[in-house]
Structure 1
Amino acid sequence: MSEYIVGPMNNLLWGNGQLLIYVLLFAGVWFSVKLRFIQLRDFTHMFKLLKQDGQSDPKGISSFQALCTGLSARVGTGNLAGVAMAISLGGSGAVFWMWVIALLGMATGFAESVLGQLYKVRDSHQEFRGGPAYYIRSGLNNKWLAVLFSLCLFLGYGASFSAMQANTIAEALNNTFSIPTHISGLVIAAVAGVIVLGGFKRIARFAELVVPWMGLAFIATAVIIAAMHITEIPALIFDIVMSAFGLTEASAGALGAAIKSGIQRGMYSNEAGAGSVPHAAAGAAPKPNHPVAQGYIQMLGVFLDTIVLCSCTALVVLLAGVGSTGEIAGIGVTQYAMSQHFGEYGDDFIAAAITLFAFTSVVANYAYAESNLHFFRLDNKWGKGGYTLIYLCMVVWGANASLKEAWNLADMSLGLMTLVNIYAIVQLTPTIVNLLRDYTAKKRAGGAMEFRCNEVKIQGQVADNVWKN
């Protein structure tokens, strides 16, 4: 199967075909233009919404919890290993192209998260559920495409991705602290099980408690390193920009590699357009109670993941003197760079960081796939129990396995999810634009900001028990 289906498909999506790079670039430009560069025009509004965060419905999670849940999945190995890989293949110029794809991806992330909110439903516990499968079915009235997306989601986020993250944690702990991988796998599964069995709200509370401190600790470390090399910062930024266009001697022959690796690693990291984060967005009860409010919040998530956290890793790596080698290198480069700054404590710090970063992704991955159980009417004791058992078994297996084929399967799942999701959100562009116009008009008027579905022209149908007429 891998040789005849998975391999050729991944080559088309991610390899020589590079189909997804062109599709995601198109989506970023499309929504940036259609939404009049909302990521720049309303940049400060993202932060203002966090200040007035609260729950407009007790059955939903807060916008801040939804942001942290989205960041739980976004912030992972891509922030530490992916950035190092981009630099090793494309040099410092790759960092610039990561910034570019993040800015474009902010608009895509806004669009998919608005739709996740609009077409959300209430499950058997009256909690909010939603995501691409829901807005494909309700907005486009295309059930078979919604089923295809859900199956790819279960294969990717429900199984393969959690195994990948567990493998990364087990390897890091084994290399640094000599902890046997089978012990790590059992501990990861046990701790994750305690969290996920509490449902979506417990996952959101876990993300709310862990993600901010995790991110701040990493940012603080990067700031300390920057302060230690403060006189080198201007030259470093100049080199990043010039190398991005092949205008330095070292980057003259690596322009294509810088663009490709920077864009690809940026996409992997922030997940904008993949259709994963709308599940977190759908679970929120935002304030103001309007789908666009959660669009702004998740747009902020793309910014924090790539522009802030990935830039911190780039700073750590480049200030250690690491540059393009032309060969694939990941977490080892980041560990080497950190050891250059802090000695042997640098290795320990990265091992701890990758463990925490990857574990939050393990938990968030469960939440995303679990949100689609309602879509198949499996959000009951037996459905959730069966899914949880498969998920925990994959975590234990992943910590101990050699996962080349599983990685390929996960990449194919993510690629197919992305193609289906981008097709859907482009088709639903008129609804996204109309919702933004409604939100903007109400904000300017200074009155009530609540969304009422009879005031906006939308495609398809929304759940009767979610939005008011």
Structure 2
Amino acid sequence: MLADLYNTTLLCLDKFYTLLWGAPLLILIMGVGLYLTVVLRGIQFRYLAYALKLVFTKQQHKGEKGDISHFESLMTALAATIGIGNIAGISTAIVAGGMGALFWMWVTAIIGMATRFAESILAVKYRTTDTKGEMCGGPMYFIQYGLGWRWLSTAFAFCGAIAAFGGGNMLQANSVADVLKETFSIDPLISGVVIAVLTGMTILGGIRSIGKVASFLVPMMVLIYISGAGLILLLNFTKIPGVFLTIFESAFTGQAAVGGFLGSTIVMAIQMGVSRGLMTSEAGLGTASIAAAAAQTDVPGRQALVSMTGCFLATIVMCTLTGLVLGVTDILGKTGTDGKLLTGAAMTMAAFKSVIPWGGYIVTTGLILFAFTTLVGYAYYGEKCCEYLFGEKLVPYYRILFTLIVIPGAVLELEIVWKVSDIFNGMMAIPNLIGIMALSKIVIEEKRAFTKLLRQEAIEESA
């Protein structure tokens, strides 16, 4: 009886997921990104260098308001963005769509940078403060205060609060518990309790605590992963040009079968590349703009540029490194010890271990840190959605519940949670994109005012 109910529920969720994440939503996300790229005159190309400078250098500007620095804001957003998708997600994309899927991930991320800029500039412009003096912003606020559509802002906040428990909490805890069990034979229940304690210690202090933890862990985990991937690429540098050639060729022709890999078509490459590109960059979902609204900044445009770099760092840098490692190690089409085709985290781990004996520990460490920082990043997104819906009084209870949910997340089978999480992510994107398009004139005006300010600052510096 229960098994039949489980299977029926899963089947219904599968059908709804396929309907929601079909061509219309993908076209909407890509279409909004392309439109913004044009009307903002390629903001992601023209100002990327300046945006990275803002991220990695300490600069003070008059009239700054906010709870955390530019860097801490970006690290909080990257904490939620850079996760198991950068290790496991790209592997599954390549297994299904071939190496050409990586090209379409690049395209999606580059276009998505304009969307991230737009949603962040609106988040800062329409942010407000609560009774504790903390900044509150994101799609729910710019939709309400910019458009007056409370029904749409409520829909975003509701979906955001639910999605935080699924993909932002239980799935991350489950991933960490699985890795610790497989690598060190640690009981998932013990892992769950430890993760819950660490999560509680981090999120009970609010955004300032989360920002400090993220600004420490994110650079560290990225450095560890980049060092391992860089060493593998250095040892196989002669294969890199051939991998790039395969990526570009298979992006437009598909990829032939090899080993256990059955081959892929151009349609599969595009579909997997776009969907995984959205997963790893989160452009269009609106969540990253919640962290952007908390940043100390003088004008919305400056923080919007900082937030925009998240897409570049998470997808263009991190996913490219993983994809190149998979390419130079010729792991595609290989099978594991169980005789099954390698995919996901197991595929990435096998690629690292094939070159570096201790490479598996690099991937394990990356998965643990990526998953934990994603968990605490989504805790902030979820509590801000909860605060918008129910007020500040319920935030402490939300944090406690979010912490406790980690434990069952670590020990349960989560196939249904995966689907529910993906569905609510898609449902978050719709009101966010509608809000951005409806307020696109405001985005353009703010961008023009900001670029004018930059030109004036440049003149003053050269004088």
Q: TM-score, normalised by structure 1?
A: 0.90
Separation of aligned partners in 2, 1:331 and 1:447: 46
Contact 1:123 1:374 in 2 (8 A): no
Separation of aligned partners in 2, 1:307 and 1:213: 19
Aligned length, in residue pairs: 442
Separation of aligned partners in 1, 2:319 and 2:169: 21
1:434 alignment partner in structure 2: 445
Task: Map 1:94-113; keep pairs closer than 5 Å.
Answer: 94-113=101-120
The one-letter code sitting in structure 2 at the alignment partner of 1:398 is G
Separation of aligned partners in 1, 2:66 and 2:100: 46
Residue 256 of structure 1: how far off its partner (Å): 1.5
Contact 1:226 1:233 in 2 (8 A): yes
Tell me: CA distance 1:405–1:248, structure 2 relative to 1, closer, same or farther (3 Å).
closer
1:367 alignment partner in structure 2: 380
1:461 alignment partner in structure 2: none
Tell me: CA distance 1:250–1:8, structure 2 relative to 1, closer, same or farther (3 Å).
closer
Task: Map 1:438-453; keep pairs closer than 5 Å.
Answer: 438-446=449-457
2:266 alignment partner in structure 1: 255
1:398 matched to 2:403: no
1:409 matched to 2:420: yes
User: In the alignment, which of 325, 328, 343 is matched to residue 329 of structure 1?
Assistant: 343
Contact 1:130 1:372 in 2 (8 A): no
Separation of aligned partners in 2, 1:271 and 1:132: 14
Contact 1:87 1:324 in 2 (8 A): no
The one-letter code sitting in structure 2 at the alignment partner of 1:94 is A
1:453 alignment partner in structure 2: none
1:271 matched to 2:282: yes
1:379 matched to 2:392: yes
Separation of aligned partners in 2, 1:214 and 1:76: 11
Residue 322 of structure 1: how far off its partner (Å): 2.0
Residue 153 of structure 1: how far off its partner (Å): 0.6
Contact 2:80 2:378 in 1 (8 A): yes
Residue 23 of structure 1: how far off its partner (Å): 1.6
1:466 alignment partner in structure 2: none
Tell me: CA distance 1:295–1:90, structure 2 relative to 1, closer, same or farther (3 Å).
same
Tell me: CA distance 1:247–1:129, structure 2 relative to 1, closer, same or farther (3 Å).
closer
Separation of aligned partners in 2, 1:242 and 1:219: 26
Residue 187 of structure 1: how far off its partner (Å): 0.3
User: In the alignment, which of 37, 40, 45 is matched to residue 40 of structure 1?
Assistant: 45
Separation of aligned partners in 2, 1:330 and 1:183: 25
Contact 1:172 1:355 in 2 (8 A): yes
1:138 matched to 2:152: no
Q: Deviations over 1:181-227 (max 9, x none)?
A: 00000000000100101111110011111111211221121111111
Residue 234 of structure 1: how far off its partner (Å): 1.3
Q: Secondary structure at the match of 2:87?
A: helix
1:31 alignment partner in structure 2: 36
Tell me: CA distance 1:35–1:20, structure 2 relative to 1, closer, same or farther (3 Å).
same
Identity across matched positions, percent: 34
Greater Cα shift, 53-62 or 393-402 = 53-62
Contact 1:101 1:263 in 2 (8 A): yes
1:13 alignment partner in structure 2: 20
Separation of aligned partners in 1, 2:107 and 2:28: 15
1:169 matched to 2:173: no
Contact 1:89 1:328 in 2 (8 A): no
Separation of aligned partners in 1, 2:101 and 2:328: 15
Greater Cα shift, 383-392 or 205-214 = 383-392
Cα RMSD of the aligned pairs, angstroms, is 2.2
Residue 385 of structure 1: how far off its partner (Å): 2.5
Separation of aligned partners in 1, 2:341 and 2:256: 19
Contact 2:161 2:386 in 1 (8 A): no
Contact 1:120 1:131 in 2 (8 A): yes
2:313 alignment partner in structure 1: 304
Contact 1:89 1:324 in 2 (8 A): no
Residue 260 of structure 1: how far off its partner (Å): 1.1
Residue 376 of structure 1: how far off its partner (Å): 3.1
1:339 matched to 2:348: no
Residue 59 of structure 1: how far off its partner (Å): 4.8
1:152 matched to 2:159: yes
Residue 122 of structure 1: how far off its partner (Å): 0.6
For structure 2, which runs of at least 5 residues remain unmatched after alignment?
1-7, 335-339
2:337 alignment partner in structure 1: none
Greater Cα shift, 322-331 or 410-419 = 322-331
Contact 2:140 2:157 in 1 (8 A): yes
* Structure ranking higher in helix proportion: 2
Contact 1:159 1:394 in 2 (8 A): no
Q: Deviations over 1:120-155 (max 9, x none)?
A: 111111111111111111011011111111111111
User: In the alignment, which of 219, 224, 228 is matched to residue 217 of structure 1?
Assistant: 224
Contact 1:181 1:400 in 2 (8 A): yes
2:4 alignment partner in structure 1: none
Tell me: CA distance 1:106–1:58, structure 2 relative to 1, closer, same or farther (3 Å).
closer
Greater Cα shift, 319-328 or 24-33 = 319-328
The one-letter code sitting in structure 2 at the alignment partner of 1:83 is I
Separation of aligned partners in 1, 2:292 and 2:97: 34
Separation of aligned partners in 2, 1:258 and 1:324: 16
The one-letter code sitting in structure 2 at the alignment partner of 1:228 is L
Residue 232 of structure 1: how far off its partner (Å): 1.1
Tell me: CA distance 1:5–1:291, structure 2 relative to 1, closer, same or farther (3 Å).
farther
1:195 matched to 2:208: no
Q: Secondary structure at the match of 2:319?
A: helix
Q: Secondary structure at the match of 2:385?
A: coil
1:351 alignment partner in structure 2: 364
The one-letter code sitting in structure 1 at the alignment partner of 2:23 is Q
For structure 1, which runs of at least 5 residues remain unmatched after alignment?
450-469
Tell me: CA distance 1:328–1:419, structure 2 relative to 1, closer, same or farther (3 Å).
farther
Separation of aligned partners in 1, 2:255 and 2:380: 45
Separation of aligned partners in 1, 2:446 and 2:211: 26
Separation of aligned partners in 2, 1:223 and 1:447: 36
Residue 415 of structure 1: how far off its partner (Å): 0.6
Residue 235 of structure 1: how far off its partner (Å): 1.4
2:5 alignment partner in structure 1: none
